[in-house]
Amino acid sequence: MDKKIILPGEYVGPGEVYEEGSKAYSKGDDIYSAVTGELDEENATVHSRTEKPALKQGDVVYGSIIMVMESFAIVEIFPLKKGNVCPTAPEEGKIPVRAMSKGFTPSVRDAVRVGDIIRAKVVRIEGEKAELTLAEPELGVIKAFCSQCRLPLEKTPKGLTCANGHREKREIANDYRDYGRLDF
Ligand SMILES: [Zn+2]
């Protein structure tokens, strides 16, 4: 069933709104929308369309590396449906080189490469971007692909190695390739 889009000030239904800061307000015996959203006629409520749970400091996020620069990497944050992860806004994260590693990382490329799947923590929100860190044992790359042949890199006693024998470095999380199922 198609949901009816409702605009601020439009009639929602009869009744009263008790909740402070609600997406609807009452005037007389009627309810009106305070936001642009989807009308839920049955319950005389409005579901905001643009509402996204905001990321906050300390949230754990998953994402893939989309850009690697000299002093930072950019992450596309995955909108996860479940778990301790907060989804969507902001959708991009930035990891500065100083937050790449539990130890000293001389170069961003020793920690992450484009296409890697990472688990990171939000340090702060700066406008549209979240600043992220990998500098904790449970944080880092959880799945990486060989930059030469794109096969997944497996954890071996000699480090991360692909099936073709290429060896690469990453800043891995302590459960690299063993993180269970992610519900995207
Ligand atoms: Zn390879």
Span from the CA of 158 to the centroid of ligand 1 (angstroms)? 14
Distance between CA atoms of 39 and 32, rounded to whole angstroms?
10
Distance between CA atoms of 78 and 86, rounded to whole angstroms?
9
Span from the CA of 161 to the centroid of ligand 1 (angstroms)? 7
Span from the CA of 167 to the centroid of ligand 1 (angstroms)? 7
Q: Is 120 exposed, middle or buried (0-12, 13-18, 19+ CB in 10 A)?
A: buried
Span from the CA of 165 to the centroid of ligand 1 (angstroms)? 6
| Tens digit of each residue's pLDDT (9 = 90 or more) over 119-165 | 999 999 887 789 999 999 999 999 999 999 999 999 999 899 999 99
| Tens digit of each residue's pLDDT (9 = 90 or more) over 20-54 | 566 788 888 888 887 777 787 777 777 765 545 56
pLDDT, residue 3, reads: 66
Walk me through the domains of the chain, giving residue ranges and CATH numbers.
4-48 (2.40.50), 60-168 (2.40.50.140)
Span from the CA of 154 to the centroid of ligand 1 (angstroms)? 10
Report how far apart the first and last C-alpha atoms of the chain are (Å, whole number). 24
Comparing CA positions, the residue from 119, 31, 132 lying closest to residue 90 is 132
**Do you find a cis peptide bond into 157, omega within 30 degrees of 0?**
no
Which of the two residues, 146 and 56, has the higher pLDDT score?
146
Comparing CA positions, the residue from 61, 131, 142, 59 lying closest to residue 97 is 131
User: In the structure encoding, which two tokens stand for residue 1, read together?
Assistant: 């069933």
Span from the CA of 118 to the centroid of ligand 1 (angstroms)? 19
pTM of the model: 0.68
Phi-psi sector, 44: left (phi>0), alpha (psi -120 to 50), beta: left
